[in-house]
Amino acid sequence: MRVEVKARNRSLDFEVGQGEKILYAALRRQARLPYECATGTCGTCRAKLVEGEIEEGWPAAPGRKFCRAEGEFLMCQCTARSDLRIEVGGNVPEADPAARRVDALSGTVSAVRALTHDVAAVDVALDAPCAFEAGQFMAVGAPGIAGMRGYSMVNFARPAQLLEFVIKKKPGGGLSEWLFSDKAPGAKIELFGPLGKATYEPGLEKDILCIAGGSGIAGMMSILKRAGEAGHFGKHRGTVFFGVRTMRDLFFARELSDLKTRQCGSGVASAQVRARLRARGGEAGDGGQVPERARLPRRAAARGGRGDEVPLAGGEDRRRQHPLRQVQLRAAMTKKMACRKSEVPANGLKECEMEGGQKVVVANSGDEYFAVQAQCPHQEIPLCEGMLEGTVLTCHQHLWQWDIRTGEPQGLAEAPLERYEVKVEGEDIMVGEKVKEGA
């Protein structure tokens, strides 16, 4: 069966097999349709059915709630029952000939080891070896469990016969509870991948900063191992902030310390590993999650919050960690067409409510002011909680970026921002009509 796709920037088509998920069929044929399973937030792969018939495999998928318009569906959960014509909201990049090929894989759960009371290491022996980049993930499915979940590899090997994952048990979570049960060891499972773009390759001549909470450390461990083996930290700085709730939730302490002392070697330019505790004591918490405003995906820069800081390379020293940067700029909403210049932080952001109830974000960059839509076009995250560096606005949730002057997407972003006319009259910032696309 053939699937025709109309995207914002181009049209494309590909073949899909009987019973094959539409997204996976596209990725297997290097049609780079949008998805973000790695962040744990479902819904990015939604599309609109224009013509044809589909079958939904998991109607209760978490991202289904983002399918609000008539005909919208999740490409990762649906199969084709006929030829299809569909539309996706963002851009679809051209195929990357250097990218790793993705495909359906299978393997056996060879080991499950408890790391904390609700986090386990899960090893999967593959039926056939595969190659992946450090930082990538697999979509994993188990018998009798609806849908697949994304889990990042902890290890790195090329080719790899064994994949190592870190799984957090989610109460009521179908797959995680299955993996924690006695059904998992020795069971056959399905995988699809490798997937994900937040990767490391030798030759990246930059410092590395990793921030993770709980099981989110998985993909970063792969990146750190790959970078250490490549001698990356002999020339560049490496910093890891690992957020957990209490000492009870801390794991990989030995592995991170070994990475610093052994993997990086004696010629390290600078390597720091810190564990940040959200709460004192040993009480069971929320599974070691970093506070919401500091919880960012893999490639995020360090942000927000205070907590105990525990050096992992020896000693019992604890001291308060001050924020590296505050990016959640909180300001009271106004109910007027304009705000005052003094209300907008220097080189910062402020959400304003215009007449009629429409909200916009006013941004200050140097001596200039700009106004854009209030919510990220990706998953409706308030952009006032993001970060503005020069003229680049970054959504803190999934690191979509835009040029604040033009609204044009940069980096991972796949859709532009709506812009509004701005006029400064004395101390007042007047926000006017929406700027037409291309203006």
CA–CA dist 329, 45 (Å, integer): 30
Considering Cα of 27, then 30, then 31, then 32, what sign does the dihedral take? positive
Predicted confidence (pLDDT) at residue 111 exceeds the cutoff of 90 = yes
Q: Which of 129, 135, 128, 139 is nearest to 155 (CA)?
A: 135
Q: Strand pairing partners for 209?
A: 239
**Domains of the chain, residue spans:** 2-87, 103-195, 208-321, 338-434
- Tell me what pLDDT residue 233 has: 84
Tens-place pLDDT, residues 127-137 = 999 999 999 99
- What CATH number does domain 2-87 carry, 3.50.50.60, 3.40.50.1000, 3.40.47.10, 3.10.20.30? 3.10.20.30
Most confident of 315-319, 355-359, 363-367, 394-398: 363-367
- Give the whole-angstrom CA distance, residue 199 versus residue 222: 9
Concatenated DSSP letters of 405-439: TT--EEET--SPPPEEEEEEETTEEEEEEEPPTT-
Half-sphere exposure for 102 (CA within 13 Å, toward CB): 25
User: What φ, ψ does residue 225 adopt, rounded to 5°?
Assistant: -65, -45
Candidate ranges 28-32, 105-109, 261-265; pick with highest mean pLDDT: 105-109
CB 25 within 8 A of CB 35: no
Give Cβ neighbours of residue 211 (< 8 Å, ≥ 6 apart).
240, 241, 243, 290, 294, 296, 300, 301, 302, 303
User: Which position has the higher pLDDT, 263 or 166?
Assistant: 166
Residue 134 per-residue DSSP state: B
In 3-state terms, what secondary structure has residue 146?
coil
Kindly state the DSSP code that residue 260 receives in the 8-state scheme.
I
What does the pLDDT average to over 387-401?
86
Tell me the average pLDDT across 366-392.
90
pLDDT score at 168? 93
- Among 155-164, 233-242, 271-280, top mean pLDDT goes to 155-164
Q: Which amino acid is at 199?
A: T
Give the position of tokens 């998953």.
379
Residue of higher predicted confidence among 39 and 135: 135
Mean pLDDT in the chain?
Answer: 80
Tell me which H or E stretch contains 24: helix 22-28
Band of residue 277 on the pLDDT scale cut at 50, 70, 90 = low
8 A C-beta contact, residue 340 and residue 425: no
Peptide bond into 382 cis (omega under 30): no
50-59, 89-98, 160-169, 212-221: least confidently modelled range: 89-98
Residue, of 208 and 37, whose pLDDT is higher: 208
Q: What is the pLDDT of residue 353?
A: 86
| Banded model confidence at residue 172, pLDDT cuts 50, 70, 90 | confident
Instruction: Tell me the two tokens of residue 335.
Output: 């109910």
Q: In what order do the strands lie in the sheet with 103-114?
A: 149-152, 137-141, 188-195, 103-114, 119-130, 160-168
- The pLDDT of residue 61 is above 50: yes
Determine contact, residues 374/419, Cβ cutoff 8 Å: no
Distances (CA, A) of 426 to 28, 287, 367: 57, 50, 13
Residue 93 pLDDT > 80, yes or no? yes
DSSP percent split of the chain into helix, strand, coil, nearest 5: 15, 35, 50
CA 151 to chain centre: 12
Q: Concatenate the DSSP letters of all residues of 184-229 into one string.
A: STT-EEEEEEEE-S--B-TT--S-EEEEEEGGGGHHHHHHHHHHHH
**For the domain with range 338-434, which CATH number is right: 2.30.30.100, 3.40.50.2300, 2.102.10.10, 3.40.630.10?**
2.102.10.10
167: nearest Cα among 183, 182, 155, 150: 150
CATH class held by domain 103-195: mainly beta
Question: Can you tell me the distance from the alpha carbon of 190 to that of 106, in angstroms, rounded to the nearest whole number?
Answer: 5
Exposed, middle or buried by CB within 10 Å (0-12, 13-18, 19+), for 312?
A: buried
> Which range has the worst mean pLDDT, 17-26, 174-183, 286-295?
286-295
Residue-level pLDDT at 37: 67
Stretch 403-423: mean pLDDT? 90
Question: 43 and 15 in contact (C-beta within 8 Å)?
Answer: no
